[in-house]
Amino acid sequence: MLSAHTQDVVTHYTRRHGERGDLFGNQPFANYGYWTRDDLTLEQASEALTELVATTAGLAPGDRVLDVGCGYGAGAVVYARRSRPEWIIGIDVTPVRIDEGHRYVAEQGYADRISLQLGNATAMDFADASFDKLVSVECAFHFDTRADFLREAARVLKPGGSLALTDMIPRRGVDPAVYLRGEQTVNSGVVLDNHPNAYDADAYAAHLRAAGFTDIRIESIVDWTRVRFVQALHRVAAQLDGEKREAILRSARRIQQFIDLGEDYVLVAARKAR
């Protein structure tokens, strides 16, 4: 049974599915990208973020990998192509993403190595110590709750297994109430505020330790992700007109507002204690 908040997340991403267009090119990404150069396309930056997470997790040949919040499977394909793990299981709560992901994975020739399935990050249907590595890109802030997810992540990882994810949290000293104000999202009209997950990096590290993780690193990369994504949206909008242009500019303004009010974007790495 999904919580009311998680059901709202499903509604949000189901409604957004029909509005994706060709913003990310041929790869069905859904992330803000990692902008190592200003001239990257959204598609290239999104792949760069996925590769950053793979490097941080230490994905390697022979690994058994869990991708939590896998979306349409674009990240899993990058992991398979780049790191050649034994296999990857991706889970997501949004049925349309899993359905489209099956098609994309098969088209890319990885159906024998990547399995996508519906799944809840806070109640995973996997045995203890099933995976060597766990990755998650831009979705743990949605989980109800992140602390429950971290406990599940530690349970399904083997001793010594690594976790790498990107996430959004308030900067230290910021009251999240300044931006979690019950406002509807621009694209879906759903309220996605998740107050139980709105804590800073110090509290985040404490949750990781409580779940059984060590070697914890939480690094702000907002200047290379969300900030650059907003700039990229403005470049895209400048080439358009009419309602499509205005829709992209509305999204850019909303993201910039969150950044200005103190929301951070972080890269998180940790290892399950042996």
Q: What are phi and psi of 175, to 5 degrees?
A: -80, 115
Q: Pairing state of beta strands 213-220 and 263-272?
A: antiparallel
26 confidence band (pLDDT: 50, 70, 90): confident
Judge whether 254 lies within some domain.
no
Judge whether 237 lies within some domain.
no
Judge whether 260 lies within some domain.
no
Judge whether 81 lies within some domain.
yes
Q: What is the CATH number of the domain that holds 177?
A: 3.40.50.150
Half-sphere exposure of 13 (CA within 13 A, CB side): 23
Q: How many distinct structural domains can be found in the chain?
A: 1
Judge whether 27 lies within some domain.
yes
Domain that holds residue 17: 4-222+265-272
Judge whether 233 lies within some domain.
no
38 confidence band (pLDDT: 50, 70, 90): confident
The whole-model pTM stands at 0.96
Residue 25 reports pLDDT greater than 70: no
Judge whether 255 lies within some domain.
no
Judge whether 169 lies within some domain.
yes
| Residue 85 contacts residue 145 (beta carbons within 8 Å) | no
Query: Who wins on pLDDT, 253 or 38?
Result: 253
Tell me the pLDDT tens digit for each residue of 85-126. 999 999 999 999 999 999 999 999 999 999 999 999 999 999
Angle CA 164–166–171, to nearest 5: 125
Q: What is the mean pLDDT of residues 189-195?
A: 94
Tell me the pLDDT tens digit for each residue of 152-181. 999 999 999 999 999 999 999 999 999 999
